[in-house]
Structure 1
Amino acid sequence: MSTNLFDLTGQRAVVTGARRGIGRAIVEALAGSGADIVGASAQMEPDGGAVGASVRSLGRTFTAVQVDLADRASVGGFVEQVQGDGPVDILVNNAGMIGRAPSLEHSEQMWDEVLEVNLTSQFHLAQAFGAQMVDAGRGKIIFTASLLSFQGGLNVPSYTASKSGLAGLTKALANEWAPHGVNVNAIAPGYIATDNTQPLQDDPDRSRAILERIPAGRWGQGGDIGGTAVFLASAASDYVHGTVLPVDGGWLGR
């Protein structure tokens, strides 16, 4: 047995939203610690594209899967395919979407789609893979929450509701599954420098205002989230249950 608490060698990790941004950083960090990866995304290339090549360069396997988390039949097919290939040790429910519109203009369609992708599909995946983990007496489930799991935000009521729901779901599942050796936790990223936040980074006024609020004085990097994911996926976090861990440079403490 390895004496490295962060060693994931021989473990199989499923990561949704794996193609880019935070998801890709998590994939590369898990693979760098020894995990083999099942990477899922709505636009995932058959060979895994750049993220697949990166994982294979680290000597790990990468299985690419396309899944539409807004479509329950697609989610069901994804679960069946992954479970057919063997047990899952780590599930990272990272994929998500955001709909921006003031609350008085927030359409029913926008509300339903955001809640389906960000909360309902996450529960279905955790339930499906969690059942196998409970039976095995071990496993790690990690959700990607948000600073809006703690705050209200502006013009994103469906996103805030979904991410607040994930914080509650993390605690609820941890209460039930911790006695069975399954750890359920969440990461709440702060402002991370990805292509999703590039418009904010490029706006001098917005970027300055954001940086003035962050005690660390910088935007987060994908690796900041990847390292946290390795911790929550590894034996180092075996006594961590039901936690929503902010990785925000101190934003919430300001």
Structure 2
Amino acid sequence: MATQAHSQRDSIEAAASHFADAICADKLIHTFGTGHSHILAEEIFYRAGGLANVSVVVDDELMLHKAVVSATNKERESATVSNLLASHPMVSGDCLLVISNSGGNGATLELAKKAKELGVKVIALTSVNHASSAKARSPQGVRLHEIADVVLDNGGVPGDACISFDGLATPVAATSTIIGAFLLQSVVVETVARVLASGRKPELFLSANLDGGDAHNKALFAKYVKQIPILN
């Protein structure tokens, strides 16, 4: 973590700058990931101490709780995102955080591309090592880190799992989730500092498991539920 905190300092600050700009312009920060990257898409959504203007882009067909093989196949198809922008509209000035360890699946790349065409700032959380070692699945042959405005590199090895054992061909212990969560929370901290420096107070969720949490969050739900219906 210390290595990535140091090596990604500039990217953390750049991502936070875009997030702070979105907050100060009353825009949204969208998050998206397929498969296990969906975990990180939710990491900063409706989170205790988290930014209230975060909208997670979710699609059951791209998650693992229903059909693993089907979700894996669909995340590789560009056409999969055709309905996502209709159900999760984005506008110029918004930000889109796209999480993909491999950085090469069609759905992820297509959403990032469409968002950029709308004037949305795209921040990628990916493994540049993995992405550079594997063949891109997009028709254009590009990878997420090559089209994003800001790249947060988790520093992971190709294949994500990092511990090898004698006699085993398959390594264990994927690192992308824990390092990714650390990087994203670092961006949130820097974002809050920048918003405060601008003279504004960032809107933040309070844990619903603390006294007063429900009352605190109720006002934020009322403000954002039309833009982020999942807050209902």
TM-score, normalization by structure 1: 0.43
Higher relative contact order (CA closer than 8 Å, sequence separation 6+): 2
TM-score (norm 2): 0.46
More helix by share: 1
